Each structure stands twice: as structure tokens, then as C-alpha cells.
Amino acid sequence: MTQSVLNAQSVLNPQSELAKLLHEGTVIPAHPLALNADRTLDEVHQRALSRYYFDAGSGGIAVGVHSTQFEIRDHGMYSPILELAAETVDEWNTQNRPFLKVAGVAGTTENAVAEAEIAAELGYHAVLLSPPRPGPEDDLWGRPEEIERYALDRARAVGEVMPVIGFYLQEAIRGPRLSFDFWRQFVGIESVVAVKAAPFNRYRTLDVARAIAESSRRDEVTLYTENDDTIVHDLLSDFTFDVDGDPVTVNIRGGLLGHWSVWTKRAVEMHQQVQRAREGDRGLLFDLMSKANAVTDANGALFDAVNNFAGCIPGVHEILRRQGLMQGRWCLNPREVVSPGQVEELDRVIRSHPWLTDDEFVAEHLDEWLR
């Protein structure tokens, strides 16, 4: 059995350190793509970002996801970007602490399986499976039951290669509406280890939580958030349901977030505070409930919510540029730029909530990360 296969299987072993890390909950930033002005890969700053996330205390990184730009697939960059991130964190992890490497996989069943095979060979531990999206000749779109059947079959196929993290994507950016019954079947797939809820909708988040609560695999599938409008609220929430006459509670234990690709040191600290609050620190709980709305306010500027998230990736890049972790805001798609007024909104939230930033931490270590 190859080492890459062992890496992937370790997340399925509940006794492994990686499985415990995933299921206890952690901070997993969605890794951005650092580019030069000519839109070629800036390897120096790409490595610096990976080192930053590791040293900030995150429990892993997710590469090849939306924040890494789906266009990397059109530019032949998918495998090189995954390889660079894996190589960088493996070399940087001199203490050999548990650190999750998650690869985003997307597209048709055939393409998602092929990407999962690449991730397995590169030593990744799990894949984040993007939901199916409509194509120009997609006759399934508009028939919810067919979409769900296709999505389940696709997940099973990918799960034969790698452990799977499911992804409930909001409709505003072309995510499909998925039923409670879909999620009930999805979490029953043995290779599913977690679900990332990002429907930006409390009713639909409840569907996922209830599906896990009612599943015989409730102790094997962990709920993560990417509800960017309710990050801290999600982490503090209990979802309790009656299951065969007994109360069963599901918690959102961590996040796999583009938002956490900036100010990551503070995100890690806040996640630790959430864990202490959940253990009974009432004063910290009330403090976090107040700070939760500041996090949402900052996310609105970062992700350009007022413009339906048009500037979400350049908004993240702008913060990283200011800190020296990127040279510029460039995206592979030259039309993907910050929206009018977005930079000013970022200035406003930083003035209003300066405690959210980790500029001093970055400045202290930047030279070492850029070597």
C-alpha cells in the first residue's frame, strides 16, 4: 500500500490524530492563489501563504477550492498548485504535528474522480467535493430529483478514491437546492467524513444538521461551516433533534473558509475561545456573541456581499497584499476585480474592528516566510 493511500485512509481511522483533529473541529483556510502582474504563478508568495497558515495555528489548508480560483484547471495549474502547497507544508512541519491537507475537486464525475486521484498521489487527506453545477448541455438542471441522484452517485465514485467532505453551496453562486433526504443519504456514504454547510440559509443548514443527527454515522461525520454571514454564531450553536425519543445534539465544530484565509491568527484564537465558551466560560460566550456581528461585518466587505460576492476573491487578495503576503490583487480572470467602494469598505471595517487583524504577527514573520 502506497504512502499516499495511507495518508487518505488515516482520516477514516477514528483513532488517528488526523481523524481526531477533523472531528474535534479546527480552522481550515481556503488557500488563495498568488500571482505575478502577468498572471503567472508567484511561487515565492504562494509558499509564504502556506507557511503563514501553518504558523498561524490552523489545522490544515484547502487547496484547489474556490479561493484558489477554479480557473487553475483551465490553465493547467491544478496539479502544480496542489503539489506546491503539499510540499511546502510538509517541509515546514518540522514538528510533525497533525495538519490536514484538503483538495478541492469539481466538475463531472469523471473529472472529480481524476482530481481525487491526483490529490491522493500528492498526499492529501480528503477532498472537498464541490456540488454539481449546470453546464451548457446539462439536461439534469431543473429536475431536482435527477440532480440529487447524480450528486450521490458522483460522491460515491469519488469516495472510492478519497475521503469526502460534502459542500452545500449557496444558490447565489449557482449552488443547487438540496433536500433533507439528499443529505440523509449523503452522510450515510461510508467515505464521507464531514460536510461543509454554506447555503447562507438557516433552514437549509438545519437540514444538514438533522441529517447528521438522525444518521447512524453521526459520530463519524463532522459539520463545518462556510456560512460566511454567521461564522461565529454557527460555531456557538447547538442543533438538537428528537431521534427515536432521545435528544441528539450536533455542533458545527470548525470552518473551512475563504474568510479565514486572511487574519488567520485571529481566526485560530477565536476558534479556541469558542471551544472554551462551549466548555462553560459564560463571560467569554457573551463576548463572542458581540464579536460575532463584527466578524459578519468584516466578511461583508471582504466578500463584497453588497455586490452579490462579485469581488470576493480580490477582496481577500487586497488584505493579503497590504500585509505583504501577495504582490497584488490579480486574478486569472482579468475581469475579476474589486468592486467600486469595496476597498473603502475594507478600510471601514478595519477601523471599526482592528482586533480582527493580525498585521503584527505577519510583519514579525514575513521575511522568514518569503525565503
Phi, psi of 63 (to 5 degrees): -120, 145
CB contact at 8 A, 180 and 211:
yes
Q: Determine the pLDDT at residue 142.
A: 61
Distance between CA atoms of residues 86 and 47, nearest Å: 10
DSSP state of 290: H
What pLDDT, on a 0 to 100 scale, did the predictor assign at position 169? 79
Q: β-strand 238-243 against 246-257: which pairing, if any?
A: antiparallel
Residue with cell 454557527: 234
Residue 258's φ and ψ, nearest 5 degrees, are: -65, -35
- What is each CA distance from 283 to 265, 273, 277, 288, in whole angstroms? 22, 11, 8, 9
Q: What is the pLDDT along the chain (371 residues), one digit of tens a residue?
A: 455 545 556 788 888 999 999 999 999 999 999 999 999 999 999 999 999 999 999 999 999 999 999 999 999 999 999 999 999 999 999 999 999 999 999 999 999 999 999 999 999 999 999 988 655 445 555 677 888 999 999 999 999 999 999 999 776 666 678 999 999 999 999 999 999 998 888 999 999 999 999 999 999 999 999 999 999 999 999 999 999 999 999 999 999 999 999 999 999 999 999 999 999 999 999 999 999 999 999 999 999 999 999 999 999 999 999 999 999 999 999 999 999 999 999 999 999 999 999 999 999 999 999 99
pLDDT number for residue 88:
98
**Do residues 224 and 195 touch, judged by C-beta distance below 8 A?**
yes
Per-residue pLDDT at 137: 43
Predicted pLDDT at 141:
57
Which residues lie closer than 8 Å to 200 by C-beta, 6 or more apart?
Answer: 170, 172, 227, 228, 229
- pLDDT, residue 366, reads 98
SS3 for 205? Answer: helix
Are 240 and 249 a contacting pair, CB within 8 Å? yes
CA gap 309, 328 in Å, rounded: 19
pTM of the model: 0.95
